[in-house]
Structure 1
Amino acid sequence: MAKMDDGEQGATASRSPILTGLACRCPRCGRGRLFRGLLSVADTCNVCGLDLKSADSGDGPAVFVILILGAVLAPLVFWVEFGLEPPFWVHIILWPPLVLGAAIGLLRPLKGVMIALQFHHQAAEHRVE
């Protein structure tokens, strides 16, 4: 793992974990890629060498995706149903791809934000010694 000098540590402190996470970049340097696949976190940052193996966002991003999509799409579903009164097959064709695409599109950046916030606040599991 690469050692950071004082200038880099100051840059890390001033970098927004929200913006870094939304960009899916390394929480320390802000330049390296956070993911190696769609949702798989890279083992290490390819720029600064930060060990990302222990980065675990848990179920937090999925919960936020569910809450966001529920708040946005539920009123939209009701508006389409009661305002436009389309046939049932329109719902079958319209909503599954929309929900799936939005969920996948939101999950990656929200997972990045969660990991960046954990790094920023130095969150770690409680250890009893």
Structure 2
Amino acid sequence: MDVTPPTVVWTRDAAEPEKRDVWRAMKRGFRGHCPRCGNGKLFRKFLKCDGHCPVCDLDFSPHRADDLPAYLVIVIVGHIVVPTALWIETNYSPPVWLQLAIYLPFTLFA
């Protein structure tokens, strides 16, 4: 008679949550490092989160960013470029070709 052991199903509620200092994890995340170990990279490309930490193998997939990083970049760059362009236009009125030669590369770089 073959008796198979019962299957253990692990759920999120069954696992003990990892104790982590929230402020230290946030500082590491703002620097682009793994919140757990602080050594691995959080992003694999500009604004693209990696699947897991290459050092401690922490899974980043539950932390979805969706469109927020791109939205924040657009808002921050827009708050720098638009007032600067308006200020230069109202005070100096440079030709359009010069404005495009300045604003487009600056916006792409920023």
Bigger CA radius of gyration: 2
Amino acid at match of 1:15: R
* Aligned equivalent of 1:45, options 53, 56, 68: 53
Partner of 2:71, secondary structure, is helix
- Residue 55 of structure 1 pairs with residue 63 of structure 2: yes
Aligned length: 93
Deviation at 1:16, TM superposition (A): 4.7
* Post-superposition offset of 1:70: 2.1
The answer to which structure, 1 or 2, has the higher relative contact order (CA under 8 A, 6+ apart) is 1
In structure 2, how many angstroms separate the alpha carbons of the residues matched to 1:40 and 1:66? 15
TM-score w.r.t. the length of structure 2 is: 0.70
Q: Deviations over 1:2-60 (max 9, x none)?
A: xxxxxx934x434051x322311112222211122334322221121101234320111
Q: 5+ unaligned residues in a row in structure 2: which ranges? A: 1-17
Give aligned-pair identity as a percent.
37
Alignment partner, residue 110 of structure 1:
none
- Structure 1 stretches of 4+ with a deviation exceeding 4 A read none
SS of 2:45 mapped into structure 1: coil
For residues 76-95 of structure 1, what are the structure 2 equivalents within 5 Å? 76-95=84-103
* Aligned residue identity for 1:13: V
Select 1:75's aligned residue among 76, 83, 86: 83
Q: Secondary structure at the match of 1:36?
A: strand
Structure 1 residues 21 and 97, CA gap change in structure 2 (3 angstroms): farther
> Which of residues 9, 13, 20 is equivalent to 2:19?
9
Over the aligned positions, Cα root-mean-square deviation in angstroms equals 2.1
C-alpha distance in structure 1 between counterparts of 2:60 and 2:90, whole Å: 48
| Bigger fraction of residues in helix | 1
Partner residue of 1:22? 30
Structure with greater strand share of residues: 2
- Structure 1: where are the runs of 5+ without partners? 1-7, 103-129
